[in-house]
Amino acid sequence: MTELQVGELLLDLALLFALTYLAAGLLERVRIPGIIGALLVAMALHYTPLGERLLSPEFHVPLTFLADLGVLFLLFYIGLQIDPGEMRRSGGDIIWLTCLNTIVPFLLGMAVMLALGYGWLLAFVIGMTRMPTAEAVIVPILDEFGLVRTRVGVYIIGAGVLDDVIEVFLVSMVSVWIGARAGEVAGDIGGIIAGLLVFMLLAWLSHRWFLPSLARWMPCRPRNLMLLSVVILFGLGGLSEYAGLGMVMGAITAGMLMRPEYDRAGVVGEQVTQAVQLGSYGFFGLLFFFWVGLNADLGGMIQEPVLAILLFLAAFVGKLLGVFVMVPMGKISVREAWTIGIGLNARLTTEIIVAQLLLSAELIDVHLFTALLAASAVSTISVPLLFALLVRRWGEQLRIPQNSVKEVSI
């Protein structure tokens, strides 16, 4: 970027932050998290000259990088608040929830495609795009309402992290399919599995030996603990991205691994936690929501309304139905089922990536591609708002500690 372009980008970001500040003030008055203001402002600017400039190649690349930093710091902060012991105690329930909230939308998505006359293989792939959850979108709102350490928070984060693995295999499978048609190897699922195993091994070694030693290397001061946090965050985030697992898994894992060091640091750990929270929600997180809003394009809903609505409903209704199966099992209440089901409907990049791969390989036509983008845009816009409204209405009833699973009143 030239000096002139850097100056333009800084001025554009200044305008985005200013408008977000005003929008957040209005949202806070009706008890909706101000961070949603960044999403709404960016969505409103999508079709303006400012939005077009920010989406142009010279600005889109640096803005995407800043958004990636936003994801890293947001989810690192969330990882700091996760208790691995509580997560393990709910492991069986989280696995059940992940299976239910992915299988049902997958089947509905397949049914929609088959009913419209598409082939079995394409229906299978599009059905899988109905499964993943973009927890990076919904988790900051959970934190704003103080729900991360509740049953709702643990289930959403746990199921979201688990289905990140599904996202990895979905993109890998599509790459292999495209490569097979082209007569070349475009992906290696075995390599993904190996990367996952290596990542888990390094995370375990860091927890047992590396981190405690590194934490004692320098005096326990806020700046030193913050520097160590950045090393671990960027290291695990980069490793998980390089292994094809996505940096979301690396960021949350980094936070969970650093939590014991923050606890041992006492007051220093509390100070650094506050600094990470301020940086995440006051700067980096807003950049991420700007990126989400700018990339939400509803134009496809006008071009392919029926197909887009059917694809959206396959995921939306499917996830809700899957979550509601947990109610008669005695795991969650009806209010929690609504909230978790809406939260797990957050969507972002996976289906767009898959759609772009399929279109480039001429495996789908432009009509299906447009419908997939439109369905993703509708979810991106509606889910954060619906989730915030539900939590605003049922906030106190949802603040049930995670370990009170057996005390559910349906």
In this prediction, residue 33 carries a pLDDT of: 67
* C-beta neighbour count of 84 within 10 angstroms: 13
pLDDT of residue 363: 76
The rounded distance, in Å, linking the Cα atoms of 126 and 368 is 10
Residue 150 three-state SS: strand
pTM equals 0.65
Distance, in Å, from the CA atom of 215 to the CA atom of 212, rounded to the nearest integer, reads 5
For residue 212, list its beta bridge partners. none
* Tokens 């920010």, residue located: 54
* Residue-level pLDDT at 301: 62
Integer CA distances (angstroms), 112 to 11, 89, 115, 118, 124, in order: 45, 37, 5, 9, 11
Q: What are phi and psi of 150, to 5 degrees?
A: -95, 175
Which residues does residue 401 pair with via DSSP β-bridges, in sequence order? Answer: 150
Residue 88: the pLDDT is 64
The domain locations on the chain are 3-399
Q: How far is CA 312 from CA 260, 347, 375, in A?
A: 41, 10, 5
- Position 18 scores a pLDDT of 92
- The predicted pLDDT at position 114 comes to 92
CATH classification code of 3-399: 1.20.1530.20
Q: What is the pLDDT of residue 225?
A: 86
Six-digit token string for 167:
């996202």
Question: Which residue, among 6, 11, 9, has the nearest Cα to 55 in the 3D structure?
Answer: 9
What six digits make up the tokens of 56? 């142009």
pLDDT digits (tens, 9 = 90+) for 113-164: 999 888 888 888 888 888 877 776 777 777 777 787 788 888 888 887 777 6
Residue 176 is predicted with a pLDDT of 58
| 101 contacts 165 by C-beta, under 8 angstroms | no
pLDDT the model gives residue 162? 74
Sorted by sequence, the CB contacts under 8 Å of residue 54 that are 6+ apart come out as 12, 45, 60, 63, 294
Segments in the chain below pLDDT 70 = 1, 30-33, 82-91, 136, 164-192, 244-246, 296-301, 304, 348-353, 356-357, 360-361, 400-410
